[in-house]
Amino acid sequence: MVRFAEEYICYRNAPPVSDREAARAILWPVYVWQVSGPDTSKRRLNVFEKALLSLLSHGRGSDSTRIQALATQLDLEPDLVRYIIEQQLIPHNLVDDRRWELTKDGIKALSEQASVSDQLKTGYVFQDAAGSSASTAFFPRYSSTLEFVEPVDTRGGFPEFSFSKASNYKWRPLVIRSVVDSRAPDATDLRTIMDATSQAQRNARMMGADDDYDSFHQLDALALSDKEPFPAYIWVWLYADGTTDYPWAVADPVGLHHDVEFMRNRLDECSRSFPKLSREIGKVLGLDDTTDFEALEKAIQSRAEQARLEVIAEYPDANGVNGLADLLHGWMTRKQEVETSSADDRIHDYKDLVTQSSGVLEFCASYCLKKYPLKNLRIIPRNCSNQDLQQLLSRTTDLTALQIDEVISVKPTSVYSTARNRKGSFRLCFAACFLAMKDYPRHPLRLFSRDMNCFFSAYELSHLRDKSAHADSAYKITKEDAMSSAAVVDSFLKLFFEGLKRG
The residue from 285, 306, 327 where one domain ends is 285
471: burial class by Cβ within 10 Å (0-12, 13-18, 19+)? middle
pLDDT for 373 equals 95
Please measure the distance between the N-terminal and C-terminal CA atoms of the chain and give it in whole angstroms.
Answer: 65
3-state helix, strand, coil in the chain (%, to 5): 50, 10, 40
pLDDT at 303: 66
Phi, psi at 230, each rounded to 5°: -125, 145
CA gap 488, 454 in Å, rounded: 7
Same domain, 352 and 475: yes
Three-state DSSP state, 128 = strand
**Per-residue pLDDT, 326:** 84
8 Å CB contact between 214 and 67: no
233 lies in the same domain as 275: yes
Domain region containing 172: 8-39+119-285
Give the CATH number of the domain where residue 82 resides: 1.10.10
**Are 372 and 482 part of one and the same domain?**
yes
What is the pairing mode between strands 23-38 and 174-175?
A: parallel
Q: How far lies 423's CA from each of 327, 328, 366, 410, 418, in Å?
A: 17, 19, 6, 14, 5
Residues 453 and 394 in one domain: yes
Provide the number of structural domains found in the chain: 3
Residue 298 lies in a domain: no
Check residue 353 and give its pLDDT: 92
Return the pLDDT at 106.
86
Query: What is the per-residue pLDDT for 29?
Result: 95
Cβ–Cβ contacts within 10 Å for residue 100, how many? 21
Residue 158 domain flag:
yes
Residues 181 and 34 in one domain: yes
Task: Name 125's bridge partners.
Answer: 33, 142
Walk along the chain (503 residues) and give the pLDDT tens digit of each residue. 456 888 999 999 999 888 888 899 999 999 999 998 665 555 567 777 888 888 888 877 777 788 888 888 887 888 888 888 888 888 888 888 888 888 988 888 877 665 444 456 788 999 999 976 645 799 999 888 899 999 998 877 789 999 887 778 899 999 999 988 999 998 888 888 888 887 777 666 655 554 555 554 444 556 788 789 999 999 999 998 776 767 889 999 998 888 898 999 999 889 888 889 988 988 888 776 665 556 667 766 766 677 777 888 889 999 899 989 888 988 998 898 888 888 777 888 898 899 999 999 999 999 999 999 999 999 998 889 999 999 999 999 999 999 999 999 898 989 999 999 998 889 999 999 999 999 999 999 999 999 999 999 999 999 998 887 665 556 788 999 999 999 999 999 999 999 999 87
The whole-angstrom separation of Cα 458 and Cα 447 is 13
CA 307 vs CA 88, 216, 350: distances in Å: 41, 41, 22
Domain-embedded: residue 159? yes
Is residue 293 in some structural domain? no
Say how many C-beta atoms besides its own lie within 10 A of residue 91's C-beta: 13
8 A C-beta contact, residue 252 and residue 141? yes
Q: Are residues 495 and 422 in the same domain?
A: yes
Q: Is residue 294 part of a domain?
A: no
**What was the pLDDT predicted at 113?**
60
For residues 240 and 374, state if they share a domain: no
Radius of gyration of the chain (CA): 25
Reported pTM: 0.59
Q: What is the distance between the alpha carbons of residues 113 and 106, in angstroms, rounded to a whole number?
A: 11
Domain membership of residue 250 (yes or no) is yes
Taking alpha carbons only, the member of 53, 52, 43, 93 closest to residue 71 is 52
Do 31 and 168 share a domain, yes or no? yes
| 407 plus 461 within the same structural domain | yes
DSSP string covering 175-240: EPPP-S------HHHHHHHHHHHHHHHHHHHHTT--------S-GGG-EE-SSPPEEEEEEEEEE-
Side-chain-side CA neighbours of residue 184 (13 Å)? 10
- Round to whole Å and give the CA distance between 292 and 72: 59
Check whether residue 488 and residue 406 sit in a common domain.
yes
pLDDT at 140: 92
Note whether residue 292 is domain-resident: no
Last residue of a domain, one of 91, 113, 135: 113
The CB density around residue 118, as the number of other CB atoms within 10 Å, is 8
Q: What is the DSSP letter of 288?
A: P
Position 54 scores a pLDDT of: 87
| Same domain, yes or no: 356 and 485 | yes
Domain assignment present for 478 = yes
Same domain, 337 and 468: yes
